[in-house]
């Protein structure tokens, strides 16, 4: 609050291409998440779908922001659900 420059941060993500399969190993800071193709595009379904990961990150950001704002406003937030969905067109 006292130094606006302190409020500016840069977020980074890092991954490495898997040598054995069509996948990318993403370092989450807690574990390695292996993202691969969605089964509709020929993926095995064993790896995480990057589209799902994107929606999960959006839901996490919205949920944490909602809770933080409610806390800052001293508003008792009851049960809440945050959902996101996206349409994929694999036709090319």
pLDDT score, position 78: 87
* CA dihedral angle for residue 46, residue 48, residue 50, residue 53, rounded to 10 degrees: 160
pLDDT recorded at residue 5: 85
Give pLDDT, residue 6.
Answer: 86
Contact 59, 84 (CB under 8 A): yes
Helical spans, DSSP H, in the chain:
50-72
**pLDDT tens, the chain, 92 aa long:** 788 888 899 989 999 999 989 999 999 999 999 999 999 999 999 999 999 999 999 999 999 999 999 999 999 988 999 999 999 888 87
Question: What does the domain layout of the chain look like in residue ranges?
Answer: 4-72
**Which residue is it, tokens 């977020």?**
11
pTM: 0.80
Length of the chain counted residue by residue:
92
């Amino acid at each position: 609050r006292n130094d606006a420059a302190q409020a500016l941060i840069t977020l980074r993500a890092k991954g490495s291409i898997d040598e054995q399969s069509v996948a990318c190993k993403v370092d989450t800071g807690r574990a390695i998440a292996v993202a691969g193709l969605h089964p509709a595009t020929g993926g095995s379904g064993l790896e995480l779908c990057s589209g799902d990961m994107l929606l999960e990150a959006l839901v996490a950001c919205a949920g944490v922001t909602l809770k933080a704002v409610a806390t800052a406003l001293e508003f008792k937030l009851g049960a809440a659900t945050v959902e996101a969905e996206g349409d994929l067109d694999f036709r090319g």
